[in-house]
Amino acid sequence: MSSRLLRFLTPAGLGAVAALGQAPFDFPAVMLVAMAAAFFLWAKISNSREGAAFGFAFGFGYFAVCLHWIVSPFLVDAARHGWMAPFAVVLMAAGGALFWTAAFWAARRLGRGIDWLIVTLPAIEFLRAYIFTGFPWGAPAQATVNSILGQGLSVFGPHGMNIVLVTLAVVIARSAQRWGYWSVLVAVGISSLLMVPVMRSDALLTGTVLRLVQPNAPQAEKWDPDKIGIFYARQLAFTAAEPDPALGAPDAVVWPETAIPWNLTHAQPILAEISAAAAGKPVLLGVQRTEGERYFNTLVLLGGGGQVTQLYDKHHLVPFGEYMPLGDFLARFGIYGLAPQHGAGFSSGPGAALMDLGPLGRFLPLICYEAVFAHDVNAAPARPDFIIHATNDAWFGTHAGPQQHLAQARMRAIEQGLPVARAANTGISAMIDPYGRLTNSLGLGQAGYIDAALPQARMPTFYSRTGDWAALVLLLAIAGVLRFRGRLRALAQ
């Protein structure tokens, strides 16, 4: 094996091991130790170009494993899009790796040790959450959601937790530099923070009961004319089912994203039928709607009789999925998004907004991919009483994708100190308390519903008040300390 290939495979292998911290593997301690091992090896590289190449290989291995589910959307219509699947994995892994390349390159340019990674890697993850519409999926902080350390999300947010994790990995790597094999004790002690689960005490509940409906319509069958009636009837039956005697009748019903195949313009008889199945209780459901020549991915709130009383249009769309950049131009060459509505796809809504359930409270609606963005949730015009996440995770496959998406919904609950009610087409539907714990859930690939009492919200968290500013200030402070320390060392020499 050539030395050049070995120089790629070693960090790539460590990156792949680090990805085991993410769902569905959920070994965050392994992730931390793998990151520390990578930092230890990288510290021996003095050339910034070689250091950047190491960062690319490490990032490529990490994102290739973490985002391997990305093939799933392309296999829904394999005849049209299947050929793209292998390219999607490689390109997504390479795209994420380029960000990490910049972080490792910058850290080597700024100093000789590994301490600057505490600044550059979280900073580049911050950039990844925003640039080109953002894609923070798979951030290291996502791996903390099951541990007591993950409760720090309520204070630091995702970017602050990235700083914490990288700092811990740097501490382990530096201990290995100084103490050799004795550093194993340091690694065990620090990584144990990621193995302590959140206490399983009972959540404090409100008197509000929500019914979350999960029809389990596989994406390849969801729009099949021979199947749409089956899935619709299934949701009607779940909506009209007898309530849990211990909870009583649900106060509202939630259907998932694009729960019905008919455009809102032509769906009034259907909406009246849905409202009747819910005995006149409010129903929130996903639907597509048109406004002139524009298409929207929408959540509508139904009152008695099926009248649409409020609606919310998804504003953070999936690039190349729900819309195509330069879509009308690319359509001339037969290139479309995975869920196109003519050339350019869906249009964006105006932004984050609250919907009002009267005495039940106000909630922030999130449609699918919008739950990935902590800053979008923080952009709500006022603090809601709870969050409703309606999603169609059938696009994400049947394994890692939906479980990672659920982990991100749990992060939003912790960050905001708010309960999250999640209705997912193929799962995982769940009621999530403000500590990110599932109080009730329905697994992947199951058709059914759950009646769940809404947990009580916490007081507004530090992160919900400050957003990402605290993490930015912390990054600047650490950078200032490292720069000052570097100058002192230079003067001492």
Parse the chain into domains and list their residue ranges.
3-197+467-492, 205-315+350-460
Exposure string for 189-214, b = 16+ CB within 10 A, e = fewer: ebbebbeeebeeeebebbebbbbbbb
pLDDT-wise least confident of 79-88, 132-141, 331-340, 372-381: 331-340
What DSSP character marks residue 326?
T
- What does the pLDDT average to over 141-161? 97
pLDDT surpassing 80 at residue 327: no
Q: How confident is the model at residue 326 (pLDDT cuts 50, 70, 90)?
A: low
Q: What is the pLDDT of residue 493?
A: 65
Single-letter amino acid code for the residue at 250: P
- What does the pLDDT average to over 363-370? 97
pLDDT tens across 42-69, in order? 999 988 899 999 999 999 999 999 999 9
Evaluated on CA atoms 190, 195, 200, 203, the torsion sign reads positive
Q: Which residues pair with 213 in a beta bridge?
A: 449
Active-site annotation holds for 66: no
- CA–CA dist 378, 465 (Å, integer): 8
- What does the pLDDT average to over 254-260? 97
pLDDT surpassing 70 at residue 338: no
Lay out the sheet containing 386-391: strands in order across: 355-356, 362-367, 386-391, 420-424, 429-432, 438-442
For residues 199 and 451, which has the higher predicted lDDT (pLDDT)?
A: 451
* H or E, element range at 3: helix 3-18
Residue 433: which of 265, 234, 198, 269 has the closest Cα?
198
For residues 185 and 38, which has the higher predicted lDDT (pLDDT)?
A: 38
- Catalytic residue from among 66, 281, 368, 415: 368
Q: What is the pLDDT of residue 305?
A: 87
- CA–CA dist 61, 16 (Å, integer): 4
Q: How confident is the model at residue 334 (pLDDT cuts 50, 70, 90)?
A: low
Distance of CA 352 to the CA centre of its chain: 17
Q: What is the pLDDT of residue 193?
A: 82
Q: What is the pLDDT of residue 336?
A: 55
Q: How confident is the model at residue 95 (pLDDT cuts 50, 70, 90)?
A: very high
Active-site annotation holds for 293: no
- CA–CA dist 302, 282 (Å, integer): 6
pLDDT tens across 23-42, in order? 999 999 999 999 999 999 99
Triad 255, 225, 222: Cα angle to 5°: 40
Cβ 367 vs Cβ 255: under 8 Å? no
What's the CATH architecture for 205-315+350-460?
4-Layer Sandwich (3.60)
- CA–CA dist 244, 452 (Å, integer): 9
Q: How confident is the model at residue 146 (pLDDT cuts 50, 70, 90)?
A: very high
- What does the pLDDT average to over 183-200? 82
- CA–CA dist 217, 136 (Å, integer): 27
- Catalytic residue from among 257, 322, 370, 415: 257
What DSSP character marks residue 347?
P
φ, ψ dihedrals at 220, nearest 5°: -70, -20
Q: How confident is the model at residue 204 (pLDDT cuts 50, 70, 90)?
A: confident
Q: What is the pLDDT of residue 337?
A: 55
Q: Where are the beta strands (DSSP E) in 130-174?
A: none
Q: What is the pLDDT of residue 329?
A: 57
pLDDT tens across 265-311, in order? 989 899 999 999 999 999 999 999 999 888 999 999 999 889 999 99
pLDDT surpassing 60 at residue 145: yes
- What does the pLDDT average to over 357-374? 97
pLDDT tens across 379-399, in order? 999 999 999 999 999 988 888
Evaluated on CA atoms 134, 138, 140, 144, the torsion sign reads positive
Cβ 56 vs Cβ 99: under 8 Å? no
| Number of Cβ within a 10 Å radius of residue 59 | 29
| Number of Cβ within a 10 Å radius of residue 231 | 22
Q: How confident is the model at residue 321 (pLDDT cuts 50, 70, 90)?
A: confident
pLDDT surpassing 60 at residue 342: no
- What does the pLDDT average to over 158-174? 97
- CA–CA dist 271, 208 (Å, integer): 23
Q: Which two tokens stand for residue 406?
A: 């659920």
For residues 489 and 369, which has the higher predicted lDDT (pLDDT)?
A: 369
Active-site annotation holds for 242: no
Q: What is the pLDDT of residue 77?
A: 73
Which stretches within 43-84 are classed as H helix? 48-66, 72-76, 78-81
- Catalytic residue from among 314, 322, 370, 415: 314
pLDDT surpassing 70 at residue 333: no
- What does the pLDDT average to over 14-21? 98
pLDDT surpassing 80 at residue 490: no
pLDDT tens across 417-431, in order? 999 999 999 989 999
* H or E, element range at 41: helix 28-42
Query: What pTM did the predictor assign?
Result: 0.93
Percent of the chain beyond pLDDT 70? Answer: 95
Cβ 401 vs Cβ 192: under 8 Å? no
- Element counts in the chain: helices (H) and strands (E): 17, 12
| Number of Cβ within a 10 Å radius of residue 137 | 23
Q: CA dist 96 to 110, 138, 216, 484, Å?
A: 22, 10, 31, 31
- Mean pLDDT in the chain? 91
Q: What is the pLDDT of residue 339?
A: 52
pLDDT tens across 402-418, in order? 999 999 999 999 999 99
Q: What is the pLDDT of residue 76?
A: 74
pLDDT surpassing 70 at residue 213: yes
pLDDT surpassing 90 at residue 328: no
- What does the pLDDT average to over 219-226? 90
- What does the pLDDT average to over 170-197? 86
